[in-house]
Amino acid sequence: MKRLGVLAALAGGLAGCASDEVKLTQDHSYVVEWIGERPLMDYAHLTVTLGADGRAYGNGGCNHWFAPYTLEGDTLSFGKIGSTRKLCPEALMEQEQRFFKALERVQRWDISPIQQTRFWPAEGKPLRLWLEEG
């Protein structure tokens, strides 16, 4: 009888964990660490903020960017990206364009085993991001 009580308590605890749905944090910035197969260049600071109003924005490493987005469950997509037009060194501009193109190809998101947020395209490696602290 005692074993049955322990099993019931364990099953109840596991059921509680299963109902905790993981969600993306809105109105808080994520910092990009990787774009597909390549890490960011040193000192580059790329960010993504998903506004509760359906608009995403952030820093592309050189320019500020903005775009509409749709989030339903684990499905995530970004609309056409707009940005400011500041010029930076060529390598930063190339990385920024790769970032914008990668965002426009995103179709879903998940959390990795190390608790890193990933934005996945239909094919290829994901954008990898960390929730910005502070």
**Stretches in the chain below the pLDDT threshold 70:** 1-21
* Pair type for strands 75-78 and 82-83: unpaired
pLDDT tens-digit readout, 120-132: 999 999 999 999 9
What is the model's pTM?
A: 0.82
Tell me what pLDDT residue 6 has: 40
Tell me what pLDDT residue 13 has: 42
Largest CA distance in the chain: 73
Tell me what pLDDT residue 20 has: 56
Tell me what pLDDT residue 133 has: 87
Calculate ∠ Cα 112-64-74, nearest 5°: 30
Give yes or no for a contact between 81 and 97, defined as CB atoms under 8 angstroms apart.
no
Indicate the residue type of 36: G
All structural domains of the chain: 28-131 (2.40.128.270)
